[in-house]
Amino acid sequence: MTNLSLSARLTALANPKRFLDLSGMLLPWVGGVAALLLGTGLYMSLFTAPPDYQQGETVRIMFVHVPAAWMGMFVYGVIATASLMGLVFKHPLADLSAKAAAPLGAGFTALALFTGAMWGKPMWGTYWVWDARLTSELILLFIYLGYIALWDAIEDPQRAAKAAAVLALVGVVNLPIIHFSVDWWNTLHQPASLLREGGSGIHPAFLKPLLLMAVGYNVLFVWLWFLRIRTEIFRRRSRSLMLAKGAGL
């Protein structure tokens, strides 16, 4: 398959009208699933999961913190992929998808940093240390904020999309640093305990609500992402109409 035919197929799948029709049908269902998963996960996190033998009740912060940290990295991966699609295949919704995802990823990253600080105070005796994992996570938040600011700083949407896409692809280098920081450097964070050789090291009483929250975060992201993409489509259409009206005058 040639690049031209692949690009044509992707363009057909990403027709804005088709996206609006499909997302309009899916949004109520996706929102309902997100509410169910997060509601169940929060209930199990607060009332079903027992206190940890070392962390006590503080362990409950994990159910919010860990999935938020995962989502911060996952959403950035989505932005980088969409940016690549926009640069290579001129995907009509790629730049809008990346732009729409950025504030959501920044929100998840900020939540991970905040809840990590709340956990760190009783566990480490301080809200913040210049730990490799914490520092690279903070850099991720700064990259998100820079990406959002770049979109706002350039008035022309096409130029803004290209500049932001380059920044997004350059920033990908931070993702493996975040992930492997606990292996590469001596940090306060523990090594991976969910995905590791020999199976998960998390007790099932903690693993079930943690996975529920993680899936719930993902579905919530999809719901909010669809809403934001729809908003961006309508905003761009409104801008085009205003420019056309101005040219007619």
Q: Is the pLDDT of residue 198 over 70?
A: no
Q: Is the confidence at residue 79, as pLDDT, over 90?
A: yes
What CA–CA distance (Å, rounded) separates 86 from 156?
A: 16
Lowest mean pLDDT among 92-96, 152-156, 223-227: 92-96
Q: What is the pLDDT of residue 73?
A: 96
Residue 132 tokens read as 């490799």
For residue 103, give its domain range: 3-248
Domain count, the chain: 1
Outline where the chain has alpha helix (H).
3-13, 16-43, 62-89, 94-124, 132-153, 157-171, 174-184, 204-248
Greater confidence (183 vs 112) lies with 112
* Confidence label for 210 from pLDDT (cuts 50, 70 and 90): very high
| Cα atoms in the 13 Å half-sphere on the side-chain side of 81 | 7
Residue pair 45/211 in contact (Cβ under 8 Å)? The answer is no
Structure-model confidence comparison of residues 70 and 204, the more confident one: 70
pLDDT, average across residues 78-83: 96
pLDDT tens-place string over residues 84-131: 999 988 877 899 999 999 999 999 999 999 999 998 888 888 888 888
pLDDT of residue 12: 56
8 has pLDDT over 60: no
Whole-model pTM: value is 0.86
Q: Which residues contact 91 (CB under 8 A, 6 or more apart)?
A: 7, 10, 11, 14, 82, 85
CA separation (Å) from 201 to 42, 185, 196, 197, 205? 21, 21, 8, 10, 12
